[in-house]
């Protein structure tokens, strides 16, 4: 927190960031396929990508909790 | 969500004008709901996931989806927003509310007539249809009511523009030394562009398509009507986009907590759109025979110039948002992004719409390139592109803008901010899935505008994954978009039940670099309109002249499809059949004579 009355830190930014990141990760498979000819099976790619994204989300949440306790 | 600055709202100050804006938005959102329904039906049908309609009705659904969304939804939202912007920025009521009500009524009547004519295509017994798609050029022929409704709608928009120019003249008489406020500047330049652009479609409808569908003329020149359509068909893209730009330039910086970075740069952008958006339409006709390659090359060059105002906008809007973030305490190279009001659906919706617009701009450059266009022409790539631009940059900004405008127009709070946030995020995710599937399918050669994209005994070759996988992705994306549309409409409907509250008014702060930092010539509407007309004449006089010289005003002949004016068409067909049989018999007779 900065003490600026305008600024309210909420999970809104995390949600938007998560969705944008998810779209970027989703598009990466298209880039691999269309530009580099690497056919990554969706059955493998999507569960792994989802697990990584959820892991990042959990880690971010944990870091924020620690930060707010310290703050 | 911003809770208001305590100032009087727009509806407090201008209740009659606020009522006009609400009515325009109401029509827009009814069309949006219907268009979204037809959208999900298409997405599920052509992917063969779930079929509610016979494939013979597909083009009725496709036409309704296109016309309701890109004509009715976008333009009714535009007139509502522009009425708000003109009244707010000139700070004066309309000159004559009866005129304002008249153009809204004309537009509504025209939309209902055109819409009902399209929907009657579902009822075979009536014998009326207009399955001509949004791109309604020949040889597809609609019932005359379709064109008549469009003409009435168009006249309504022209009167709306005249109404706003009248407000400007009245304001200017009282403020001769003042610069035109930015929001009004956007409205006036956009309407000048609209007047120029609609010359093409007005000529096509009034002189060719309507008389042709009434049976007053027997044939039309398909290439001429296509060219006249695209004379209008590309600038209309910017007509849809300008309300989004108005919100990005004037409302988004405020929601971000800052101010517009540069008013002069914004004026330059809108002047460039006025000058450059019309003389580019031939880039939609790269594969049309009958137009010289040199004219297509000129259109391509003009199109690439249009990247300039888009890139200027990207810079100005992001700079304004960054200024807002830093005002809110954001720091660092990218750390300021964390300080932005992401929980506000109005802000997040506009930002995600802008992000998608960047992607749509890149795919648009592929479309605009003459050589590479051949690869994607008439494939599913093209709907993938315009669902990013009009389907997200425009539509999502309009929805997000509504979340901000709603309290100003009704004195009621939004029903649910979290539902609003979920709605814009679901739209973004759904569109990412659907447009990705469309772009990739297009690169595989899968065609657009068909209920049955598969061919018997033929498989599209894929670089990765499979067509079946893309179909599922497209259907999921389309379904998410429909869910998002329902969330938006439900949120607004429930908002109407909220009690009225005072103090919800919002003011818009002045730009960091104001209008006085720019030369006054930027406000010279006559000059820019004259230059725009000259550019249009340079781009179109020779191609149109060549088309008429090659194949005549009414073309070399040919049958319309579908046949809607039954009696007239039967008579024409019978006459042609008789002539054809007569000619064949004469030939046979000649041959027999030779044999003898």
What pLDDT is recorded for position A64?
Answer: 77
Asked if residues B168 and B151 have their Cβ atoms less than 8 Å apart, the reply is no
Structural domain tally of chain A? 1
- The contact set of A with B (CB < 8 A) is 2-4, 6-13, 15-17, 19-20, 22-23, 26-27, 29-30, 32-34, 37-40, 42
Complete DSSP assignment for B537-596: HHHHHHHHHHHHHHH-TT-S----BS--SHHHHHHHHHHHHHHHHHHHHHHHHHHHHHH-
The yes-or-no verdict on residue A7 having pLDDT over 60 is no
- Torsion sign (Cα): B39, B40, B44, B45: negative
Within 10 A of B577 (CB to CB), how many other CB atoms are there?
Answer: 10
CA B90 to each of CA A48, B166, B182, B244, B422: distance values in angstroms, whole numbers, following the listed order: 56, 12, 10, 20, 35
- Domains of chain B by residue range: 10-552, 568-596
- Active-site residue flag, B455: no
Which of A9, A30, A36 should one mutate to test binding to chain B, selecting the residue with the greatest count of B CBs within 10 A?
Answer: A30
Would you identify the CATH topology of the domain B10-552? Cytochrome C Oxidase; Chain A (1.20.210)
- DSSP H or E run through B304: helix B293-305
Rg (C-alpha) for chain B, rounded Å, is 25
Cis omega before residue B169 (within 30°)?
A: no
Collect all residues of chain A within an 8 Å Cβ-Cβ radius of residue B351.
16
List, in order, residues 6 or more apart from B429 with CB less than 8 Å away: A19, A22, A23, B480
Interface contact flag, A23 B352, Cβ < 8 Å: no
What pLDDT is recorded for position A2?
Answer: 43
List, in order, residues 6 or more apart from B456 with CB less than 8 Å away: none
Decide if the complex's ipTM is over 0.95.
no
Give the span between the Cα atoms of B557 and A29, in whole angstroms. Answer: 50
CB nearest to A16's CB, from B348, B432, B433: B348
Collect all residues of chain A within an 8 Å Cβ-Cβ radius of residue B329.
2-4, 6-7
Asked if residues B487 and B419 have their Cβ atoms less than 8 Å apart, the reply is yes
Q: Is residue A30 assigned to a domain?
A: no
CB nearest to B343's CB, from A10, A27, A29: A10
Collect all residues of chain B within an 8 Å Cβ-Cβ radius of residue A27.
432, 436
CB nearest to A7's CB, from B339, B436, B469: B339
What is the biggest distance separating any 2 CA atoms in chain B, rounded to whole angstroms? 101
Give the span between the Cα atoms of B274 and B217, in whole angstroms. Answer: 35
Query: Which residues share a beta bridge with B586?
Result: none
Give the span between the Cα atoms of B272 and B274, in whole angstroms. Answer: 5
- Torsion sign (Cα): B50, B52, B56, B62: negative
What pLDDT is recorded for position B565?
Answer: 46
Q: Which of A15, A4, A69 is nearest to B349 (CA)?
A: A15
Query: Across all residues in chain A, what is the average pLDDT?
Result: 84
**Rounded to an integer, what is the distance from CA B567 to the centroid of its chain?**
35
What pLDDT is recorded for position B7?
Answer: 84
CB nearest to A37's CB, from B339, B425, B463: B463
Collect all residues of chain B within an 8 Å Cβ-Cβ radius of residue A37.
463-464
A26-65: per-residue pLDDT in tens? 999 999 999 999 999 999 999 999 999 999 989 988 887 7
Q: Is residue A63 assigned to a domain?
A: yes
Q: Is residue A45 assigned to a domain?
A: yes
Within 10 A of B343 (CB to CB), how many other CB atoms are there?
Answer: 20
Which of B332, B337, B338, B343 should one mutate to test binding to chain A, selecting the residue with the greatest count of A CBs within 10 A?
Answer: B343
Collect all residues of chain A within an 8 Å Cβ-Cβ radius of residue B443.
34
Q: Which of B386, B403, B428, B488 is catalytic?
A: B386
pLDDT of chain B, 596 residues: tens digit per residue: 455 667 899 999 999 999 999 999 999 999 999 999 999 999 999 999 999 999 999 999 999 999 999 999 999 999 999 999 999 999 999 999 999 999 999 999 999 999 999 999 999 999 999 999 999 999 999 999 999 999 999 999 999 999 999 999 999 999 999 999 999 999 999 999 999 999 999 999 999 999 999 999 999 999 999 999 999 999 999 999 999 999 999 999 999 999 999 999 999 999 999 999 999 999 999 999 999 999 999 999 999 999 999 999 999 999 999 999 999 999 999 999 999 999 999 999 999 999 999 999 999 999 999 999 999 999 999 999 999 999 999 999 999 999 999 999 999 999 999 999 999 999 999 999 999 999 999 999 999 999 998 888 888 999 999 999 999 999 999 999 999 999 999 999 999 999 999 989 999 999 999 999 999 999 999 999 999 999 999 999 999 999 999 999 998 766 666 645 444 544 555 565 566 556 655 665 665 565 55
Asked if residues B368 and B303 have their Cβ atoms less than 8 Å apart, the reply is yes
Query: Which residues share a beta bridge with B561?
Result: B140
What pLDDT is recorded for position B582?
Answer: 61
Domain that holds residue A48: 40-71
Q: What percent of chain B has pLDDT over 70?
A: 92
- Active-site residue flag, B387: yes
Q: Is residue A10 assigned to a domain?
A: no
Cis omega before residue B562 (within 30°)?
A: yes
Minimum CA–CA partner of A10 in chain B = B343
């Amino acid at each position: 927190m900065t003490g600026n009355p305008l600024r309210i830190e909420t999970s809104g930014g995390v949600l938007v960031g998560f969705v944008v990141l998810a779209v970027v990760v989703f598009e990466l498979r298209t880039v691999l396929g269309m530009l580099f000819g690497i056919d990554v099976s969706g059955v493998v790619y999507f569960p792994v990508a989802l697990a990584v994204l959820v892991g990042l989300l959990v880690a971010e949440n944990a870091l924020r909790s620690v930060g707010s306790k310290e703050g | 969500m911003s809770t208001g600055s305590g100032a009087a709202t727009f509806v407090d100050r201008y209740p009659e004008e606020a009522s006009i804006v609400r009515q325009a938005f109401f029509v827009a959102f009814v069309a949006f709901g219907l268009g979204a329904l037809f959208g999900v039906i298409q997405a599920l049908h052509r992917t063969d996931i779930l079929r509610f309609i016979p494939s013979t009705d597909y083009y009725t659904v496709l036409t309704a989806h296109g016309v309701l969304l890109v004509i009715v939804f976008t333009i009714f939202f535009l007139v509502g927003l522009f009425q708000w912007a003109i009244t707010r920025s000139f700070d004066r009521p309309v000159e004559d509310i009866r005129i304002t009500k008249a153009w809204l009524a004309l537009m509504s009547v025209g939309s209902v007539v055109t819409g009902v004519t399209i929907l009657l295509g579902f009822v075979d017994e009536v014998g009326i249809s207009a399955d001509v798609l949004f791109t309604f050029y020949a040889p597809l022929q609609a019932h005359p009511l379709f064109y008549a409704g469009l003409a009435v709608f168009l006249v309504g928009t022209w009167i709306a523009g005249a109404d706003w120019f009248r407000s400007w003249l009245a304001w200017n008489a009282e403020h001769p030394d003042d610069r035109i406020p930015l929001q009004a500047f956007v409205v006036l330049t956009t309407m000048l562009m609209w007047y120029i652009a609609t010359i093409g479609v007005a000529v096509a409808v009034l002189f060719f398509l309507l008389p042709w569908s009434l049976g007053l003329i027997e044939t039309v020149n398909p290439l001429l009507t296509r060219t006249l359509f695209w004379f209008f068909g590309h600038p209309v893209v910017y007509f849809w986009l300008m309300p989004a730009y108005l919100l990005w330039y004037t409302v988004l910086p405020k929601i971000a907590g800052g101010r517009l970075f540069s008013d002069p740069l914004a004026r330059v952008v809108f002047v460039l759109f006025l000058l450059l958006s019309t003389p580019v339409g031939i880039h939609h006709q790269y594969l049309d025979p009958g137009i010289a390659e040199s004219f297509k090359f000129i259109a391509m060059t003009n199109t690439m110039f249009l990247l300039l105002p888009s890139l200027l906008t990207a810079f100005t809007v992001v700079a304004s948002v960054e200024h807002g973030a830093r005002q809110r305490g954001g720091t660092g190279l990218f750390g300021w992004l964390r300080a932005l009001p992401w929980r506000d659906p109005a802000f997040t919706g506009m930002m995600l719409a802008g992000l998608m617009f960047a992607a749509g701009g890149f795919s648009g450059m592929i479309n605009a390139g003459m050589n590479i266009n051949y690869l994607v022409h008439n494939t599913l790539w093209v709907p993938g592109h315009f669902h990013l631009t009009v389907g997200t940059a425009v539509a999502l900004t309009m929805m997000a803008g509504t979340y901000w405008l709603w309290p100003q127009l009704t004195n009621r709070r939004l029903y649910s901010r979290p539902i609003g946030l979920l709605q814009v995020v679901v739209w973004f995710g759904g569109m990412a899935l659907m447009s990705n599937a469309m772009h990739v399918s297009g690169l595989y050669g899968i065609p657009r505008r068909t209920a049955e994209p598969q061919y018997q005994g033929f498989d599209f070759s894929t670089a990765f994954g499979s067509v079946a996988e893309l179909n599922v992705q497209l259907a999921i994306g389309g379904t998410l978009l429909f869910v998002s549309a329902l969330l938006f409409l439900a949120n607004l409907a429930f908002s109407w039940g909220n009690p009225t509250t005072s103090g919800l008014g919002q003011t818009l702060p002045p730009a960091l670099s104001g209008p006085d930092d720019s030369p006054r010539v930027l406000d010279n509407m006559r000059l820019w309109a004259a230059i725009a007309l000259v550019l249009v004449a340079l781009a179109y006089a020779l191609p149109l002249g060549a088309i008429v010289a090659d194949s005549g005003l009414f073309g070399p002949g040919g049958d319309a499809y579908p046949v809607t004016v039954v009696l007239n068409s039967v008579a024409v067909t019978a006459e042609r059949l008789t002539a054809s049989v007569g000619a064949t018999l004469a030939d046979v007779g000649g041959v027999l004579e030779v044999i003898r």
